[in-house]
Structure formats: structure tokens, C-alpha cells
């Protein structure tokens, strides 16, 4: 992948690299020899039919999934088949790679601020005072400065997802993985979350987002990657992949999604 351009300059060298990545379940290849590079500061939207391997790919980047072939490199760290990372290495990777899930995964017994503070204190060893200051800043950044003392049960779905984003950012990651984070939200609430992600693109984060929000992909992504049947069937700038797709598989998928 050549370096790409965006509004605020040239994207950095590849921070994440996949080489012939293979993942199998029950003998079936969910990821079938995927190779890709993702540059620092690049927003990549991953689209494609359900079961195409998108979520599995994300989970392979921070050690949630083991792999059966090829290699995953994130910064200086590498995952290969059969290689067991020690706890210290795995924690280092997960500090570098934040993840936001579809179902929020907030702690119900902690407030919004408590959820954002938890990992910096328990994992990164920061003082509670430092974590609280940073947590309040991040909740304000995602538009929840007045909700710091609210529990998840007191928040809307869009607010919960914004807390989840703030929680991921609290570990100061270099890569942010977003797995269908708007799929469970009403249309109006989706925009709350997508606006936050769009606001983050000037922060230098590498963002990989599995999404069916084609409008967001067209507007905010530097690159769109189409996964189907465990393979990358097309990739390129949004204007090319979404508005003028080359492959029949991409054309069929977009026709089904866009109607």
C-alpha cells in the first residue's frame, strides 16, 4: 500500500501489517490468506457480507483470536501460529490496540467515569487522580461531560457507546478497532457515535472499523476494504470502491445494502 493523503497531511508508515493471514474454524477458512497494511493515521472502513471474516480479522489484531497461518504485526509485536504471548506482551499489545464492541461491554456497577478510569488504574498503573482527570477530559470530548456520574442503566445506547469509545481512548492506544459499533443503535443515535469517530481522525489514530454505514465510509474513511468469503475482494479509496466498484462481488454487496 502506498502512503495515502488526507486533509491534514500524509499518512504514516504501516503500523499494522497482515501477511497471508489464515484463521480456521472447524476446518473452514474464515480468513483465507489475507495480506494488508494499515498506515498510522489511516481510517479504514471494512465492509462486506456477514460471515466474510471482518470481526475475526479485528479480533486477530489484539490477541483475542489465535491464528492458524501467516503473521500479524502490530508495531513491534508479532503474532504467528502456535506462538503464545506472555501476559506482559499481551497487555502491551492491548494498550496499543483499543477495541470498541457492538454491545458496549460496560461494567454495570461503575459510573461512566468509573468505566473510563478502570483500565488506566488496574492495567496501566496510573493513579486514581490522574485517571480521573483524563477520564473527565475524554467524556467531555465525546459529549458526555455532564454524564460522568451516570451508570450504564441511566444512559441511552448512543451514550453507552460513546463511553465505550472514551474507555478505549483512556489507554492512549495507537490503533482503535471498532466492530459494528452502531449496528444496535437507532438511526439518530448512530450519528452521535459516528460524529465522535470522525472527530478523532485528526488525532493520528489508526482506526479500523467494521461497518455497514456506507455513508460514513464514503465521508470519513481514507480506504475501504471489502471482505467476502474470507478474502479481500476489493480495496481502495471510497470514491472508487463505493461509487465505482470493479468486482462483481462488491457490486452485488453494495446493491443489496444500498437497494
- Scored b (16 or more CB within 10 A) or e, 129-165 reads eebbebbbebbebbbbeebbebbbeebebbbbbbbbb
Residue 83's pLDDT is: 64
Angle, alpha carbons 246-248-253 (nearest 5°): 105
Three-state DSSP state, 232? strand
User: With 60 as the cut, is the pLDDT of residue 11 above it?
Assistant: no
pTM of the model: 0.89
Q: Please state the length of the chain.
A: 259
Please name the residue that has the C-alpha cell 457507546.
Answer: 161
What the block records as the C-alpha cell of 198 is 470522525
CATH of domain 5-258: 3.40.50.300
**Average pLDDT for residues 106-124, to the nearest whole number?**
96
d(CA 253, CA 49) in angstroms, rounded, equals 7
Residue 22 pairs with which residues in a beta bridge? 32, 69
What is the band of 7 on the pLDDT scale with cuts at 50, 70, 90? very low
User: With 80 as the cut, is the pLDDT of residue 8 above it?
Assistant: no
The pLDDT tens digits of the residues spanning 63-87 come to: 888 899 999 999 888 888 876 667 7
What is the band of 236 on the pLDDT scale with cuts at 50, 70, 90? very high
Residue 197's pLDDT is: 86
d(CA 172, CA 183) in angstroms, rounded, equals 25
**Average pLDDT for residues 179-187, to the nearest whole number?**
87
User: With 50 as the cut, is the pLDDT of residue 240 above it?
Assistant: yes
User: With 80 as the cut, is the pLDDT of residue 189 above it?
Assistant: yes
Residue 165 parent element (H or E) = helix 157-169
What is the band of 3 on the pLDDT scale with cuts at 50, 70, 90? very low
d(CA 200, CA 207) in angstroms, rounded, equals 9
Residue 1's pLDDT is: 34
Residue 78's pLDDT is: 87
* Average pLDDT across the chain, whole number: 89
User: With 80 as the cut, is the pLDDT of residue 9 above it?
Assistant: no
Write down the domain spans for the chain: 5-258
Residue 12's pLDDT is: 60
What the block records as the C-alpha cell of 190 is 448512530
**Average pLDDT for residues 105-123, to the nearest whole number?**
96
Amino acid at each position: 500500500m502506498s502512503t495515502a493523503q488526507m486533509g491534514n497531511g500524509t499518512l504514516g508508515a504501516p503500523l499494522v501489517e497482515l501477511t497471508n493471514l489464515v484463521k480456521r474454524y472447524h476446518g473452514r477458512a474464515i480468513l483465507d490468506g489475507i495480506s494488508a497494511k494499515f498506515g498510522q493515521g489511516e481510517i479504514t472502513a471494512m465492509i462486506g457480507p456477514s460471515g466474510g471474516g471482518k470481526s475475526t480479522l479485528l479480533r486477530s489484531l489484539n490477541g483475542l483470536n489465535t491464528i492458524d497461518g501467516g503473521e500479524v504485526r502490530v508495531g513491534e509485536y508479532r503474532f504467528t501460529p502456535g506462538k503464545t504471548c506472555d501476559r506482559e506482551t499481551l497487555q502491551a499489545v492491548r494498550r496499543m490496540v483499543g477495541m470498541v464492541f457492538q454491545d458496549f461491554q460496560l461494567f454495570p456497577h461503575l459510573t461512566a467515569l468509573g468505566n473510563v478510569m478502570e483500565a488506566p488504574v488496574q492495567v496501566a498503573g496510573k493513579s486514581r487522580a490522574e485517571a480521573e482527570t483524563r477520564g473527565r477530559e475524554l467524556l467531555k470530548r465525546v459529549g458526555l461531560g455532564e454524564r460522568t456520574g451516570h451508570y450504564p442503566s441511566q444512559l441511552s445506547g448512543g451514550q453507552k457507546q460513546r463511553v465505550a469509545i472514551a474507555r478505549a481512548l483512556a489507554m492512549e492506544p495507537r490503533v482503535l478497532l471498532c466492530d459494528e459499533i452502531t449496528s444496535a443503535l437507532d438511526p439518530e443515535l448512530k450519528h452521535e457515535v459516528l460524529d465522535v469517530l470522525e472527530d478523532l481522525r485528526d488525532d493520528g489514530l489508526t482506526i479500523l472499523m467494521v461497518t455497514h454505514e456506507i455513508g460514513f465510509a464514503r465521508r470519513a474513511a481514507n480506504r475501504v476494504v471489502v471482505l467476502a468469503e474470507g478474502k479481500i475482494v476489493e480495496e481502495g479509496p471510497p470514491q472508487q470502491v463505493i461509487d465505482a466498484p470493479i468486482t462483481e462481488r462488491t457490486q452485488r454487496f453494495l446493491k443489496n445494502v444500498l437497494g
